[in-house]
Amino acid sequence: MIRGTVSNAGVPIITLSIAGKEWIATIDTGFNGYLELPETLRNTLNPQYMGRVNSLLAGGQTIEEELYQINFPFDGKIITAETTFVVDSDILIGTRLLQEYRLQIDFVRRVVVLEKAL
């Protein structure tokens, strides 16, 4: 189980430990991919290039991105996931990464819970 919080801005976030550092990750229910990671993590995760993909952004804009497969630390184990890398410092967790989880967001109490469902 992973516990997180709802930020002051109303964003569901969790903390992940990656490459010996704690990172804040946003749970983005509008993102149907696995992950979007900061470029600064590229060398620590040994990504394997998969190809170029078109991604539809929230504003209706389509962009072309490079897609990679990585071994990613999540919920106490290493999982295989797909990711894109961006210049930004934010981590986005998409719904595909959460397909085996039950997500609870309590905006009133500002609590986020991710629990393995399968």
Structural domain boundaries, residue 39: 2-116
C-alpha 9/C-alpha 6 separation (Å) is 8
Q: Which CATH number belongs to the domain containing residue 94 in this structure?
A: 2.40.70.10
Total count of domains within the chain: 1
Average pLDDT of the chain to the nearest whole number: 91
What does the longest C-alpha to C-alpha distance in the chain come to? 42
What DSSP string describes 82-117? EEEEESSS-EEE-TTTTTTEEEEEETTTTEEEEEE-
pLDDT average, residue stretch 74-93 = 92
pLDDT tens digits, 30-83: 888 899 999 999 999 999 999 988 766 667 777 778 999 999 999 999 999 999
What DSSP string describes 34-95? SEEEEGGGHHHH--EEEEEEEEE-TTS-EEEEEEEEEEEEETTEEEEEEEEEESSS-EEE-T
